[in-house]
Amino acid sequence: MSAASIAEVQPVPSQVDQVQEVLMPGEHTLPASWWTSEKIFELEKRAIFHKTWLYTAHASRFKKAGDYFSYNVTGINFFLIKTKSNEIKAFHNVCRHRAYPVVRKEKGSSVILGCKYHGWSYNADGNLTKAPHFDDVQGFKKEENGLFGIRTHVTDQGLIFVNFDATEEGPIPFDDWYKGLQDEMHEYDFSDYEYHMSYELDGQFNWKTLMDGYQECYHCPTAHPGLNAAFKMSTYKVVPKNNYCRHYAEIVKEEVEIPEDNDDEDENNSSWFGFGKKKNEAKPAKKEGKKENPGGEFNGLWVYLYPSNGVNCYSPAWYSIRVLPITATHTILQYDIFTKKGLADDKKKEFVDFLQLVELEDFNLCELTQKNLNEGVYSTGYLHPKKENGVLFYQKIVKEMVKEHWAKEKEAGKPINPAYVGGKKQSDEAAELEDFCKEVECQGSNPETEFMQW
Ligand code: FES
Ligand SMILES: [Fe+2]
């Protein structure tokens, strides 16, 4: 080929841009069996949920020492509590004596936590302070029988994460795992918001069924008419980052509707999508020297946090979603809503109503989708390389983490649960009996053995 002909076929810069715009062939979803198999689900718990940082709460909910909130993630009961030195700590909600739950309410406040089975007591730092009649028991040490702690990380904006990984090497440090997240969250002032309410949805679907919908807005024009009217869907994009994704979309500003009797600029601009309100014809004049109100210019700070949480910030409010897997086909969704300090009640209601409408629309999509996944006739589907890139992104991490952990388990010849805390300082006999049980269980799950039993 001559130099001239090479020059002829080399694309000019504008052509290069065009080439980049051409969509590459997409990939497929993971197979449906990953949405229905209990064995895969149990493996996901060990490989993903017991290793990664999980968003749990906002620090503003803990007002004084002893304030606590309890949670259940993948069957693990734990609670967060504020200590006398104003730290937020997390503990397994398991008494070190005979495993009764130490905290039995969703929330409360006490600097001494008494177990209602045999009366052991712990302080907010998890130390055992009282164990009736154990003073005379030889070899028993209170300091060795405190509550099992769970690693936590609180960002400078008060977002609290936990990590169940109790192995000696521990998890990847928070700032490496979610590299860049904390800086990104500085675009929003969480201190200007206060707790408003929480609610929960109980879904008969796999946790990934919800995440699939959460990670794309390809479905929005069809499934969310309200959202579709409020945002320019052509601008919606999901940008994968380090184990999190940022979602972007421009607000349809000309559609922001303002109540007739309200001429306060801040209030006007911070209107949620203005549902059921009069359409705003003229843009309110900007006050000299006043900071641009985020409601007018702020398109939202929406973040998906792998594996199963999200924090979504708007002007009038922000909310978090915790997607809590219970079984392969049962998932609980928990929402906490925080509204701007001083926000009028009708504005709060407007936000909550709209959020609940959208969440319910998603919930219904998930329930019917899961029913079909359970049928066993569908396996995989094509994902759009751009419109569903967020789905591809998170499913890829799921696949990699699960396969990597499975390889380790195969090598070890037994399940490895990084959240397991009972193995430390147990007697030789207990360790031996623990291994005995694992061996029996592994045999029990061998299809050949099961067949013989049948
Ligand atoms: S189980 Fe808690 S005191 Fe016995
Ligand atoms: Fe949705």
Distance 126 CA to ligand 1 centre (A): 14
Q: Report percent pLDDT > 90 for the chain.
A: 72
21 — pLDDT class (breaks 50, 70, 90): low
> Checking DSSP bridges between strand 309-313 and strand 301-305, what pairing results, if any?
antiparallel
374 and 254 both lie in a single domain: yes
CA-wise closest residue to 69 among 89, 84, 99, 98: 89
pLDDT value of residue 299: 67
Q: Which amino acid is at 353?
A: D
Least confident of 70-84, 141-155, 409-423: 409-423
Q: Two tokens at 104?
A: 């039995």
Q: Answer yes or no: is the C-beta of 117 below 6 A from any ligand 1 atom.
A: yes
CA-wise closest residue to 331 among 278, 373, 291: 373
CA-wise closest residue to 404 among 48, 49, 73: 48
pLDDT value of residue 293: 32
Distance 102 CA to ligand 1 centre (A): 8
Q: 51-67: per-residue pLDDT in tens?
A: 999 999 999 999 999 99
* Averaged pLDDT for residues 146-152: 98
165 and 193 both lie in a single domain: no
Q: 442-452: per-residue pLDDT in tens?
A: 665 444 433 33
Domain extent at residue 275: 182-284+291-397
129 and 240 both lie in a single domain: no
CATH number at residue 155: 2.102.10.10
How far, in Å, CA of 19 to CA of 37, rounded?
A: 41
Residue 234 reports pLDDT greater than 70: yes
295 and 158 both lie in a single domain: no
pLDDT value of residue 429: 83
Residue 199 reports pLDDT greater than 50: yes
User: Pseudo-torsion of CA 179, 182, 187, 190, nearest 10°?
Assistant: 150
Residue 291 reports pLDDT greater than 60: no
343 and 426 both lie in a single domain: no
238 and 366 both lie in a single domain: yes
Task: Among 125, 144, 170, identify where a domain stops.
Answer: 170
Is residue 143, in this structure, part of any structural domain at all? yes
Is residue 23, in this structure, part of any structural domain at all? no
298 and 389 both lie in a single domain: yes
From the alpha carbon of 118, which atom of ligand 1 is closest? 3
pLDDT value of residue 231: 82
Structure letter (DSSP) for residue 48: I
Task: Among 140, 170, 200, identify where a domain stops.
Answer: 170
Q: 1-20: per-residue pLDDT in tens?
A: 333 333 333 434 444 444 44
Contact 105, 122 (CB under 8 A): no
- pTM of the predicted model as reported, rounded to 2 decimal places: 0.84
Q: Answer yes or no: is the C-beta of 147 below 6 A from any ligand 1 atom.
A: no
Please state the domain count of the chain: 3
128 and 191 both lie in a single domain: no
pLDDT value of residue 380: 93
Reported in sequence order, the residue ranges of 257-377 that DSSP labels E, i.e. its strands, are: 301-305, 309-313, 317-327, 330-340
CA-wise closest residue to 250 among 238, 226, 267, 233: 233
Task: Among 170, 205, 233, identify where a domain stops.
Answer: 170
Mutate which of 98, 140, 148 for ligand 1 pocket (most atoms within 8 A of beta carbon): 98
Is residue 24, in this structure, part of any structural domain at all? no
Contact 365, 223 (CB under 8 A): yes
Q: 352-381: per-residue pLDDT in tens?
A: 998 999 999 999 999 999 999 999 999 999
pLDDT value of residue 270: 34
133 and 273 both lie in a single domain: no
CATH number at residue 300: 3.90.380.10
Q: Higher confidence at residue 265 or residue 369? A: 369
Is residue 300, in this structure, part of any structural domain at all? yes
Distance 236 CA to ligand 2 centre (A): 13
SS3 179: coil
164 and 200 both lie in a single domain: no
Is residue 104, in this structure, part of any structural domain at all? yes
343 and 390 both lie in a single domain: yes
Is residue 43, in this structure, part of any structural domain at all? no
Distance 224 CA to ligand 2 centre (A): 7
pLDDT value of residue 254: 56
Is residue 407, in this structure, part of any structural domain at all? no
Residue 415 reports pLDDT greater than 60: yes
310 and 438 both lie in a single domain: no
pLDDT value of residue 294: 32
Is residue 42, in this structure, part of any structural domain at all? no
* Averaged pLDDT for residues 113-135: 98
* Averaged pLDDT for residues 97-105: 97
Least confident of 115-119, 125-129, 192-196, 354-358: 354-358
